[in-house]
Amino acid sequence: MFFPNAGVAVDPVLLVLLGLIVGTLGGFFGVGGGFLITGGLLVFGVPPIFAVGTGLTLVMGSSIINMLKHKGLGHVDFRLGLLMVCGTVPGEILAERLNVALLEAGIIGPVIRYVYVVFLGVLGSFIVYDYFKVRRRAGAAGDAVSTENLARKVQALRIPPHAVWLPGRGVTPTRVSLPLSQIQSISVFVPFSVGFGVGFMAGLLGAGGGFILMPLLVYVVGVPTVIAIGTDLFQIIITGSVGTFIYALGNHVDLLMAIIMLTAASAGAQIGATATKFVVPGRIRGLFGVTVLSGGVAVALKEVSESVSRLHFLDTVAAFMLLGVSGAICLVIAGLLLRAARRKPAPDEAQA
């Protein structure tokens, strides 16, 4: 099927599969799926600038669906999300300007792919490492992580100014309490800085930033996994909306392509979000690490295939890996959901 705005022909079946996978994984991991969407579109041959813009559009739509589901489960800390958004928007605007400069220089494709490979490889490797390290620890709780000491230090940071004047409120301390995230006190400049960094990477890579933000909230800020998932989705909605608007102004969004994927994503979202009620948080993070690693390998194979003429077949290998591994993770999620549902009632039902 030819998509005139992006100027490329893509099999719509591949787009439907990608949308279904993104919806399921987005609901389960609390990510917009940008690392899969943009990576997948790059593998399918979509021009990089359109892969970024269209990816952000789908991130926005799928995150709205998933966030509403998690809101009903009580997994969204809106206060934390709003603090991060204050930094996200300027970071994303700055990244879009950088992408335009890279496009004019003719190097945007390799830069985005190389950054994707490095980020996904390092991040995925650490998450898998943490999963096995915590699993070996005797008596480790289901939501334990290997960076608990780091998170406590980050929460204790005292960043000046310690108070600011606000209209209607007067002098206001810059430390806040986030009960839903189980944080007694933290400087507002910590979530602001996290939001700025995630917003910049989101705008640069065409993702909602969720694949970076969810691990940051869990491993660095110390937010419980399920709360990080729901809050991440809330923040991604803002990121995706701003990013979509920015790239749409430059006519770098293929709306038809986004609609096809979003329709499929809405179905998968219900499965993924519901599964978080039953699956142990540590296992959620372990599966997330495997998914991130597979995305990095797929984009790396795509880059090799374009660099070496004799290795064009790696395009097919990359597409198979991206959809195959992610699809397999979706089947694992469905299996865990069915097994856990048979074994015991949902936590809220058990307490009723």
C-alpha angle 95/90/189, rounded to 5°? 120
Binned at pLDDT 50, 70 and 90, residue 240 comes out as low
**Residue 349 domain-assigned (yes or no):** no
**What is the per-residue pLDDT for 33?**
66
Calculate the average pLDDT of the chain.
Answer: 82
**What mean pLDDT is predicted for residues 250-274?**
84
- The answer, yes or no, to whether residue 349 has pLDDT greater than 50, is no
Statement: residue 347 has pLDDT above 70: no
pLDDT at 351 over 50: no
Percent of the chain with pLDDT over 70: 91
Number of domains forming the structure of the chain: 1
Partnered with residue 166 across adjacent β-strands are: 170
* 350, part of any domain: no
Q: How far does CA 104 lie from the centroid of its chain? A: 28
- The whole-number average pLDDT for the span 248-273 is 84
Assess if residue 22 is contained within a domain.
Answer: yes
State the residue for tokens 């597409």.
Answer: 319
pLDDT digits 0-9 by tens, 300-314: 887 788 777 777 788
The tokens describing 151, both together, are 């998170």
Share of residues in the chain with pLDDT > 90 (%): 14
Q: Please report whether residue 352 resides in a domain.
A: no
DSSP 144: -
Q: In this structure, how many other beta carbons lie within 10 angstroms of the beta carbon of residue 15?
A: 25
So what's the pLDDT on residue 306? 74
What range defines the domain where residue 218 resides? 2-344
- 328 domain residue, yes or no: yes
| Residue 173 β-bridge partners | 163
Q: 155 pLDDT band (50/70/90 cuts)?
A: very high
Higher-confidence position of 184 and 292: 184
- Reported as a pLDDT band with limits 50, 70 and 90, residue 344 is low
Helix axes 12-29, 314-343, angle to 10 degrees: 40
* 40 located within any domain: yes
Which range, of 130-134, 172-176, 200-204, 346-350, averages the lowest pLDDT? 346-350
The pLDDT assigned to 192 comes to: 93
Euclidean distance between CA atoms 14 and 29, whole angstroms: 22
Q: What is the pLDDT of residues 78-94, one digit of tens each?
A: 999 999 988 887 887 88
Q: Is the pLDDT of residue 198 over 80?
A: yes
The reply to whether 202 falls in a domain is yes
Write the DSSP string, 158-213.
-PSPSEEEETTTEEEESEEEEGGGTEEEEETHHHHHHHHHHHHHHHHHTS-SHHHH
List, in sequence order, every beta strand (DSSP E) within the chain.
2-3, 8-9, 163-166, 170-173, 175-178, 183-187
What does the pLDDT average to over 272-296?
A: 85
Q: Does residue 319 fall inside a structural domain?
A: yes
352 pLDDT higher than 50: no
335 Rama sector, left if φ>0, alpha if ψ -120 to 50, beta otherwise? alpha
pLDDT reading at 57 higher than 90: no
One-letter identity of residue 281:
P
Which pLDDT score is estimated for 345?
54
Mean pLDDT across the stretch 133-157?
A: 79
Residue 238 token pair: 């803002």
- 346: part of which helix (H) or strand (E)? none
